[in-house]
Structure 1
């Protein structure tokens, strides 16, 4: 008879009962890799890439944000986000300015061209979302998001 501990151990790479196909991070890594490849292919057609895509949608959702806030949501180094933001500024996708409350903080906001690019990205990538979630209900997607958020919060920040 299988004990609860033994049933759980097949998910743990340190266990003798481990099965890679039962390891959630195996599927998360494969999922992320396949998603990234599909997004890169779709975004390349409109001269866009994943890092700039992330920044555009973070700004769309959060509104004006500091570079450090963007780096937190994009899970990327501050120096990397800073370089990308200034390239996006040169391309006319974002504007930057100094925070009124703290002169050391750079605020970033979308330009009209940035909003136009978001519409181009949505048109170029909507099929990826639609195909990815075929057969799943909004409730299932919500539960999946809640589970992923819980795992994310269980992981160390650095």
Structure 2
């Protein structure tokens, strides 16, 4: 498939004179994430959370305990920052952390009962926003969206 005159990939290429920022996928993704975080933040603040803590709760809600390094990778947060987030969450009794029985070099993080209850509140706070965001997308549209985002991620990792 070529990059002809009507091909928006050409307009999204910052290396071309025809570049248009509103065709640049990474501008669009950043704009979306910024708006999403702006809408989500007050909902989370109302239950005593910030966005990084919410991300950790959501990840641990899928499976816990998890290692701090694994959490950092899943949340796309630098390890040193994740360590501080976990310490702050442990002080708030949202998580408990300690060395792995299998490898003492690995710090495992698990939800506490208070963390599990807060996770349920966070899910309830985020769900209406999620429903609003995906309104108008068919199941096929949603599947295509997630597939395309995954493909961009894979392409970037292969570079």
Give the TM-score, by structure 1 length: 0.92
- Post-superposition shift, 1:136? 0.8
Q: Any idea what SS the aligned residue of 2:30 has?
A: helix
SS in structure 2 opposite 1:109? strand
TM-score by length of 2: 0.91
Long gaps (5+) in structure 1: none
Deviation at residue 143 of structure 1 after TM alignment:
1.4
- SS in structure 2 of the partner of residue 135 of structure 1: coil
1:19 counterpart residue number:
20
Question: Where does residue 120 of structure 1 map in the other structure?
Answer: 121
**1-structure distance, mates of 2:123, 2:131:** 11
Q: Following TM superposition, where does structure 1 have runs of at least 4 consecutive aligned residues deviating by more than 2 angstroms?
A: 3-8
User: Aligned ranges for residues 99-114 of structure 1 at < 5 Å?
Assistant: 99-114=100-115
Root-mean-square deviation (CA), in Å?
A: 1.5
- 1:19-54 CA-partner distances (Å, limit 9, x unpaired): 221111121111011001011121111111000000
Displacement of 1:5 in angstroms is 4.5
Partner SS state of residue 127, structure 1:
helix
The count of residues paired between Structure 1 and Structure 2 equals 155
Which digits, 9 at most, give the CA deviation of each residue in 1:80-131, with x for residues without a partner?
A: 1111111111111111121112111100011111110011112222111010
Q: Match of 2:101, SS?
A: coil
- Cα distance in 2 for partners of 1:55, 1:93 equals 10
Alignment of 1:65-84 (within 5 A): 65-84=66-85
SS in 2 for 1:128: helix
